Amino acid sequence: MKKILSCILCGLLFCLLLVCACGPVSDFDRTVEEDQFSVDCTVLNTTLSEQYALEEGDLVVVSHSENGGKFAFQIGISGESPIYIGDSSAPERFTVRILQSGTYTLSVTGEQAKGTVTFRIMRSK
């Protein structure tokens, strides 16, 4: 009886470890160019970021199409308060004006997110 109980307990512990070891999975294609950062994802469960040197007056045009889950967006200079924080409830295309020159981090975070996100930089000069 003790042997059967031990086997059952070991089996349950093994199953628990197996379930806990399988974290959220992400499957995406990331494209980084001089003035564009885009992500096309089957499922995104992480944060992806890129840094760009931006000048006062530049524009960051964000466009997204969501086929499920949720996207969150953030734009800002590292160590400072972000100039934009939003999610996929925002319009499918919006523009953020850069008011201060610096190195900006453009980030997208997904929670079971499916679709496409593009950050396009429109230089003022």
Domain ranges for the chain: 24-122
pLDDT digits over 14-53, tens only? Answer: 644 444 445 579 999 999 999 999 999 999 999 999 999 9
Residues of the chain above pLDDT 70, percent: 82
pLDDT score of 68 more than 50: yes
Pairing of strands 93-97, 84-87: unpaired
Specify whether the CB–CB gap between 51 and 103 falls below 8 A. Answer: yes
We find that the CATH architecture of domain 24-122 is Sandwich (2.60)
- Centre a 10 Å sphere on the Cβ of residue 56 and count the other Cβ atoms it contains: 11
pLDDT score of 112 more than 60: yes
3 state DSSP class of 13: helix
**Residue 4: which H helix or E strand, with range?**
helix 2-21
